[in-house]
């Protein structure tokens, strides 16, 4: 065979692995993912400042690992990313434990307990660099073990990262001081409150950071009575079920100072607009329009939740840090149409406070002429039949006029440019299967055209029907059979 087995030399690989672009927040989140995947109900993070160094300790009461599992877990690339993950699993490339830890510091110690038995391993990159080989310690140094809390129950895991050269400049002249250390820790605290808010709300899990319990941050202010909440929309993109739901936050005048500040997150209102992409309930990315639209001040009330299953990873190009996604093209079309719709509502509320004075009743957007509606077949725009102006018109006209108006509105809806884009191309020559509702619609529409003297005979009628966007899916002979079957008269 024309093959030579090569051993990548350790030192340069380390440098590459340490430079994948994690920041402290994304790195810690990746480690918390592992504890959640291990079904932990309590995850405790400790950031210790130790003068010239520091230590980050994460302990959980999850499933733990036996010796063999731990050995696998410490391997660089322990699971094939193409392998199907459990539903709800947050892991992705089998790299996070190592790459996230090494982006913070040079030593990673793992102590774990499985059915009462302990196992331990320790990577020290100083040592790996020195011998230029992937030598893994089977024992954690005593001074580190002292820092690690004992695992109380039958199972659980504690990891400790120290030699924090990246996180705090340990071992260099620029080691950060206590105050900046804890400012950094505060930012991580906030980041975790964002990333895991939905998991904390849905699952039975508590996350504690330096003795403070994480308080889930709800970007959509779902509990506020003036928040506008769209319908849940489900669509199928390349075999994955994607769920979208839009929210328009209340106008600032409806919020007290504390609510206003909290909803502004860590970046401010303007930089929190846009899509919030979740993978298995864990927030991956937020605060922009994914390159499709520009941010602007009047759109700052618009936030759209998108939920992806982990089977969509490849399709949406979820990156190794689980902090970025690139939607596939066919998803972009849908996302953009929702975005434009929601931005418009945001603009109206931002400028005109259209939520009105009835602030203790949830406003469902009833002043919009169009509403988005979703089903497995895709998104559709439907006319808002409860618009107060339309109700008023209906009250003022007689029954017959009302029927005519309703039919007209039905056609406006069916003919809406955004609804006909996806309609299938018509096959000629065969009589198609048509639902009774569709037949009725053809017949009603035909009778109206005849009554209004728009058409005088079958030929003209069919010419008119075939050009209607509402009947786009039907071919001529099908339409002909419907009108003939109904024996429409042309008098
Ligand atoms: N806190 C933990 N508790 C139990 N098992 C863990 C924990 N952290 C990591 N593991 C195990 O180590 C494996 C590798 O973790 P990681 O490198 O983060 O990759 P991934 O999460 O993508 O599988 C995990 O799949 C899991 O089996
Ligand atoms: Mg992981």
The predicted-structure confidence for 459-478, as pLDDT tens digits, reads as follows: 999 988 887 777 877 888 89
Digit-coded pLDDT (tens) for 136-163: 999 999 999 999 988 999 999 999 999 9
Ordered strands of the 53-60 beta sheet: 117-124, 107-114, 156-162, 53-60, 42-50, 206-209, 212-213
Most confident of 172-181, 207-216, 316-325, 355-364: 207-216
Is 238 inside any structural domain? yes
The verdict on the CB of residue 79 being under 6 Å from ligand 1 is yes
> Does the C-beta of 156 come closer than 6 Å to ligand 1?
no
Whether the CB of 370 sits within 6 Å of ligand 1? no
Q: Are residues 285 and 404 in the same domain?
A: no
Q: Inter-axis angle of helices 24-37 and 178-195, to 10 degrees? A: 50
The pLDDT-based confidence of 74 (bands split at 50, 70, 90) is very high
Residue 359 CA, ligand 2 centroid: distance in Å = 44
Identify the weakest region by mean pLDDT among 79-93, 168-182, 217-231, 273-287: 79-93
> What is the four-CA torsion angle of 165, 170, 176, 178, rounded to 10 degrees?
120
Domain holding 438, by residue range, is 390-485
Range with lowest mean pLDDT among 226-230, 376-380, 427-431: 376-380
* Atom 26 in ligand 1: residue holding the nearest Cα: 73
Q: How distant, in Å, are the alpha carbons of 278, 364, 428, 430 from that of 247?
A: 15, 10, 43, 45
Residue where a domain stops, chosen among 328, 349, 383: 383
Of residues 293 and 406, more confidently modeled = 293
What is the 34 CA–ligand 2 centroid distance (Å)? Answer: 5
Residue 147 covered by a domain: yes
Overall domain count for the chain: 3
Same domain, 317 and 436: no
Ligand lying nearest the CA atom of residue 17? 1
- Strand 274-279 relative to strand 117-124, pairing: unpaired
Mean pLDDT of 52-77: 93
Ligand 1 contact, 313 CB (< 6 A): no
Q: Given a cut of 50, is residue 359 above it in pLDDT? A: no
Query: Residue 290: inside a domain, yes or no?
Result: yes
Residue 4 lies in a domain: no
Q: What is the mean pLDDT of the chain?
A: 87
- pLDDT, one tens digit per residue, over 383-424 is 877 777 888 888 899 988 988 898 888 888 877 766 655 444
Give the CATH number for residue 314. Answer: 3.30.230
Say if residue 170 is in the same domain as residue 233.
no
Same domain, 312 and 271: yes
Distance CA 20, CA 4 (A): 28
Q: Per the domain annotation, does 219 fall within a domain? A: no
CA dist 165 and 124 (Å) reads 13
Which CATH number do you get for residue 166?
3.30.565.10
- Number of CB atoms found within 10 A of residue 123's CB: 23
Burial 328-347 (b: 16+ CB within 10 A, else e): beebbbbbeebbebbbbbbb
Give SS3 for 302.
strand
Mutation pick for ligand 1 pocket among 22, 36, 64, 91 (CB with most ligand atoms within 8 Å):
91
Q: Do residues 182 and 239 both lie within one domain?
A: no
> 71: Cβ below 6 Å to ligand 1?
no
Does residue 5 lie within any of the structural domains?
no
User: Are 470 and 377 contained in the same domain?
Assistant: no
């Amino acid at each position: 065979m024309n093959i030579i087995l090569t051993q990548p030399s350790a030192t340069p690989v380390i440098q590459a692995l340490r430079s994948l672009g994690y920041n402290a927040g994304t790195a810690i989140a990746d480690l918390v993912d592992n504890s959640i995947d291990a079904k932990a109900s309590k995850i405790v993070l400790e950031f210790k400042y130790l003068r010239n160094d520091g230590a980050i300790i994460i302990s959980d009461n999850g499933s733990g690992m036996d010796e063999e599992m731990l050995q696998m877990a410490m391997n660089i690339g322990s699971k094939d990313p193409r392998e199907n993950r459990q539903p709800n699993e947050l892991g992705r490339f089998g790299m996070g434990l190592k790459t996230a830890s090494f982006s913070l510091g040079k030593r990673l110690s793992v102590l774990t307990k499985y059915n009462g038995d302990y196992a331990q391993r320790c990577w020290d990159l100083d040592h790996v660099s020195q011998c230029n080989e992937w030598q893994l310690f089977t024992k954690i140094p005593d001074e580190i073990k002292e820092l690690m809390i004992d695992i109380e129950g039958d199972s659980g895991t504690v990891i400790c990262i120290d030699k924090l050269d990246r996180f705090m400049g340990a071992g260099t002249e620029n080691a950060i001081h206590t105050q900046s250390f804890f400012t950094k820790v505060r930012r991580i605290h906030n980041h975790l409150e964002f990333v895991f808010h939905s998991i904390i709300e849905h699952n039975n899990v508590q996350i504690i950071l330096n003795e403070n319990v994480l308080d889930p941050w709800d970007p959509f202010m779902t509990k506020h009575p003036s928040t506008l909440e769209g319908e849940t929309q489900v669509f199928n993109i390349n075999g994955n079920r994607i769920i979208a739901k839009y929210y328009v936050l209340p106008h600032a005048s409806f919020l007290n100072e504390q609510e206003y500040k909290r909803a502004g997150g860590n970046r401010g209102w303007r930089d929190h607009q846009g899509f919030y992409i979740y993978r298995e309930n864990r927030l991956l990315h937020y605060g922009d329009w994914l390159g499709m639209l520009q941010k602007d001040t009047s759109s700052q009330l618009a936030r759209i939740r998108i939920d992806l299953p982990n089977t969509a990873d490849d399709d949406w190009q979820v990156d190794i840090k689980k902090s970025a996604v690139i939607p596939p093209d066919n998803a972009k079309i849908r996302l953009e149409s929702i975005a434009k719709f929601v931005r418009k509502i945001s603009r109206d509320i931002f400028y005109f406070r259209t939520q009105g004075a009835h602030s203790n009743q949830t406003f469902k957007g009833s002043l919009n002429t169009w509403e988005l509606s979703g089903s497995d077949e895709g998104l559709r725009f439907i006319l808002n039949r409860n618009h107060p102006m339309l109700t008023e018109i209906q009250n003022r006209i007689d029954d017959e006029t009302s029927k005519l108006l309703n039919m007209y509105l039905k056609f406006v809806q069916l003919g809406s440019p955004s609804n006909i884009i996806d309609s299938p191309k018509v096959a000629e020559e065969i009589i198609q299967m048509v639902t009774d509702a569709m037949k009725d619609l053809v017949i009603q529409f035909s009778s109206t055209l005849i009554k209004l003297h728009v058409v005088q005979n079958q030929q003209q009628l069919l010419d008119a029907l075939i050009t209607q966007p509402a009947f786009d899916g039907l071919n001529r002979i099908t339409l002909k059979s419907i009108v003939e079957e109904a024996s429409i008269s042309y008098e």
